[in-house]
Amino acid sequence: MGNLLNKLQIRQVTGDVVIVGRFYMNYELDPQKSGALLKQGLNAQSWSQEASTQHQTLPPGTPRPQVAIAGSVRVAAAAPANTKALVRHQSLPLAELLKKMNRYSNNLMAEIIANSVGGPKAVSYQVAQAAGVPQSEILLVNGSGLAVENRISPRAVCAMF
Q: Per-residue pLDDT tens for 104-124?
A: 778 888 898 899 899 999 999
Taking the CA of residue 117 as centre, how many other CA atoms within 13 Å lie in the half-sphere pointing to its CB? 18
Assess contact for 9 and 29: CB atoms under 8 A: no
| pTM for the whole structure | 0.78
Q: Per-residue pLDDT tens for 2-38?
A: 999 999 999 999 999 999 998 998 888 999 999 999 9
What confidence score (pLDDT) does residue 38 get?
Answer: 95
Q: Which of 72, 81, 79 is nearest to 38 (CA)?
A: 72
Residue type, 6: N
Residue 38 φ then ψ, to 5°: -65, -45
